[in-house]
Amino acid sequence: MTIQLPSSRSETAFEDFKLPLLRGEAIAEATRCLFCHDAPCIQACPTEIDIPQFIRKIASDNVRGSAKTIFESNILGMSCARVCPVEVLCVGACVYNQVDQPPIAIGKLQRYATDRAYEEGWEFFTAGASTGKRVALIGAGPASLAAAHELRRFGHACTIFEQRTTIGGLNTTGVAPYKMKADRALTEVEWVLSIGGIEVKTGVTVGVDISLADLDSAFDAVFVGVGLGEDSSLGIAGEQLDGVHGAVAWIEQMKLRSLDLSKIQRAVVIGGGNTALDAAREVKGLGIPWVTLLYRGTREVMKGYAHEFDAAMREGVRVEWQCNAREISGNPFAADPSRLYIVACGQFEDHRVPNLRERYLEVEADLVLVAVGQSKLTTMFTGFEGIEFEEGRLRVDAVGFTGRPRWFAGGDCTNAGKEVVNAVAEGKRAAHAIHAALQGGIHHG
**Can you give the CATH number for the domain in which 311 is found?**
3.50.50.60
- Same domain for 308 and 267? yes
Is the domain of 379 the same as that of 365? no
Same domain membership, residue 150 and residue 88: no
Give the span between the Cα atoms of 270 and 295, in whole angstroms.
6
Q: Which of 62, 96, 120 is the last residue of a domain?
A: 120
**pLDDT bracket for residue 383 (50, 70, 90):** confident
| Final residue of a structural domain among 85, 120, 155 | 120
Verify that 16 and 79 share a domain, yes or no. yes
| Cβ-based burial of 395 (10 A; exposed 0-12, middle 13-18, buried ≥19) | middle
Does residue 38 have a pLDDT over 80?
yes
Same domain, 363 and 381: no
The answer to whether residue 177 is domain-embedded is no
For the stretch 232-273, pLDDT in tens is: 999 999 999 999 999 999 999 999 999 999 999 999 999 999
Establish if 417 belongs to a structural domain.
Answer: yes
Q: DSSP H helical segments within 140-285, as ranges?
A: 142-154, 170-173, 182-193, 212-218, 247-256, 274-285
Does residue 337 surpass a pLDDT of 70? no
The answer, yes or no, to whether residue 443 has pLDDT greater than 60, is no
Helix runs in 242-288, H state only: 247-256, 274-285
Residue 348 has pLDDT above 60, yes or no: no
Asked whether residue 59 falls in the same domain as residue 146, the answer is: no
In a domain, residue 184? The reply is: no
Q: What is the pLDDT of residue 352?
A: 56
Domain count, the chain: 3
- Rounded Cα gap, residues 401 and 407, in angstroms: 6
User: 410 is in which domain, residue-wise?
Assistant: 134-163+203-229+375-438
Place 419 in a pLDDT band, splitting at 50, 70 and 90: very high
Across the chain, mean pLDDT equals 93
Q: What is the pLDDT of residues 300-322, one digit of tens each?
A: 999 999 999 999 999 999 999 98
**Percent of the chain at pLDDT exceeding 70:** 93
Residue whose C-alpha is closest to residue 321's, from 281, 271, 246, 371: 271
341 domain residue, yes or no: yes
Is 190 domain-assigned? no
Strands 134-138 and 157-162: parallel
On whether both 427 and 323 belong to a single domain, the answer is: no
The pLDDT of residue 351 is 54
Whether residue 445 has pLDDT greater than 60:
no
Measure the CA–CA gap between 270 and 370, rounded to whole angstroms. Answer: 5
For the cut 60, the answer to whether the pLDDT of residue 333 exceeds it is no
At 355 the pLDDT is 58
Residue 292 has pLDDT above 70, yes or no: yes
Q: Is 126 a domain residue?
A: no
Average pLDDT over residues 96-107: 97
- What are the DSSP E strand ranges found in 92-178? 134-138, 157-162
Query: Given CA atoms 295, 301, 302, 306 in this order, what sign does their dihedral have?
Result: positive
Per-residue model confidence as pLDDT tens digits over 124-168: 999 999 999 999 999 999 999 999 999 999 999 999 999 999 999
- pLDDT confidence band for 392 (50 / 70 / 90): confident
**Do the bridges between strand 340-345 and strand 198-202 make them parallel or antiparallel, or are there none, so unpaired?**
unpaired
Q: Write out pLDDT tens, residues 12-31.
A: 999 998 899 999 999 999 99
Mean pLDDT of 346-363: 62
**CB-hemisphere CA count at 13 Å for 255?**
28
Looking at the structure, tell me whether residues 333 and 417 fall in a common domain: no
User: Quick one: 17 and 91 in the same domain?
Assistant: yes
| Domain boundary, last residue among 63, 93, 120 | 120
Do residue 87 and residue 138 come from a single domain?
Answer: no
Q: Is residue 84 in a domain?
A: yes
What torsion, rounded to 10 degrees, do the Cα atoms 415, 421, 426, 429 define? Answer: -160
C-alpha span between 291 and 284 (Å, rounded) = 6
CATH number of the domain within which 43 lies? 1.10.1060.10
pLDDT digits (tens, 9 = 90+) for 169-222: 999 999 999 999 999 999 999 999 999 999 999 999 999 999 999 999 999 999
Specify whether 140 is located in the same domain as 109: no
> Could you tell me if residue 410 is inside a domain?
yes
**249 and 223, same domain (yes or no):** no
